[in-house]
Amino acid sequence: MILYFDTSAVIKRYVDEPQAEEVRYVYLQARAVCTHLITYAETLAGLAKAMRMGRLASERLPVLVEQVDKDWTNLEVVAPEITLIRRAGHLALRYPLRGFDAVHLAAAERVFNSVVSLSNFQLVGFDTHMRDAATALGIMIYPSQIVVPT
């Protein structure tokens, strides 16, 4: 299985949130995990925000940043370039996406279109609009349902 992780999925690798264990498991089972370059900055920003909100102990932050750097070397990173960013812009016109969600979707679509067996590719993300747009584009999503905490 080839997976595309958006930032919301990557963060779950490091912060305990709903479905974090499931995301960690599928990450380890994947043949390849892809993401966009912007995920690095978004992940560190997300970890810092989790610390500021008290969801992450301050002494854990340097350890997790080191782990992100180590894990980053194992990811297939989609680089930003003009064609991809323009596609993201057009996806944002077509679907109700925020800017970086559109970039993630365009990057996932690029990987999806390059995979020989399309059934072996899934986008792992938790933004409802991005998930809906991916489904409309024929991209399988993981998890198939989002667990909403009660």
For residues 124 and 26, the answer to whether their CB atoms sit within 8 Å is: yes
Cα–Cα dist 49/76, whole Å: 25
Whether the per-residue pLDDT at 145 is higher than 70: the answer is no
pTM of the model: 0.92
Cα–Cα dist 137/148, whole Å: 24
Each residue's pLDDT tens digit, 104-143: 999 999 999 998 676 689 999 999 999 999 999 999 999 7
Please give the domain boundaries of the chain with CATH numbers for all domains: 2-142 (3.40.50.1010)
Cα–Cα dist 102/97, whole Å: 6
DSSP lists the bridge partners of residue 121 as 2
For residues 134 and 108, the answer to whether their CB atoms sit within 8 Å is: yes
